[in-house]
Amino acid sequence: MVNQEVDTTGCGIATFANACSISSFEHARGWMLDRSFCKQNEFVTIPQMKSALELWTGKTITQHNSISSLSDEAVLFVEYEKGTSYRHWVYYKNGIYFDPLPWYSQGVSTIAYKVTRLLNIHS
């Protein structure tokens, strides 16, 4: 599992790396920066994530607003702290959530975040 390097930024890059089986944060960051899928501050928007996933994987990516639309594999854009504008990216596959925050080393079966958008990855 790839983790973001600091707890305040980089979650989109690390989540992209996990979804695409890229082994390092640095490789994913370089690839995304070279193609303008993120900014120098490592912030990744929903459209940037969708486009990056489509280009890297060659798969169809569909955007949804509800967790009820979750497929077997997805990238989730979540509300990090209830009632704030802080957002966070999390990777989901086959019932396991992979949170890229530095203190997580493996996936978990539940998350406490509110999902605001999700990008389903279709085979």
Beta carbons of 106 and 1 less than 8 angstroms apart: yes
| pLDDT bucket at 92, cuts 50 / 70 / 90 | very high
pLDDT at 100 over 90: yes
Domains in the chain, ordered, with CATH? 11-122 (3.90.70.10)
Question: What's the whole-number average pLDDT of the chain?
Answer: 95
Which amino acid does the sequence have at 45? T
H-state helical runs in the chain: 11-19, 25-34, 46-57
pLDDT of residue 86: 86
Length of the chain: 123
Q: The whole model's pTM is what?
A: 0.95
